[in-house]
Amino acid sequence: AIQMTQSPSSLSASVGDRVTITCRASQGIANDLAWYQQKPGKAPKLLIFAASSLQSGVPSRFSGSGSGTDFTLTISSLQPEDFATYYCLQDYSYPWTFGQGTKVEIK
């Protein structure tokens, strides 16, 4: 199975900061990568699909980039509602696999 490694595992940031989360695949996955946001006690929410396509209704401060093995989720200006855990998912080959998550906390 393809391994997905996210970094960092957690980070502290302030409102207004630019935040970058990285996801690395153990082998090439083209652009078959999605990003999810999860808040405590809630179901995950799809933010980005196909590495860089913004899901409908998601604020434009969220963006994704990358292809092959290295991917990035960027939040251009962190808002209070963005404090959450973020996961990447490769949907290139079965079994699909998630990264271990990145918790974004308030500094």
Partner 1 sequence: QVQLVESGGGAVQTGRSLRLSCVASGFSLGSYGMHWVRQAPGKGLEWVSLIWFDGSQKYYADSVKGRFTISRDNSKNTLYLQMNSLRAEDTAVYYCVRDLSLGRSDPGYWGQGTLVTVSS
Q: Is 36 in the site for partner 1 (CB under 8 A)?
A: yes
Point out which span in 21-29, 33-41, 57-65, 74-82 binds partner 1 (CB under 8 A).
33-41
- Strands (DSSP E) contained in 1-107 are 4-7, 10-13, 19-25, 33-38, 45-49, 53-54, 62-67, 70-75, 85-90, 97-98, 102-106
Give the footprint of partner 1 on residues 68-97 (CB under 8 A): 87, 89, 91, 94-97
The encoded tokens of residue 79 equal 């808002």
Question: What is the contact surface with partner 1 in residues (CB under 8 A)?
Answer: 1, 34, 36, 38, 43-46, 49-50, 55, 87, 89, 91, 94-101
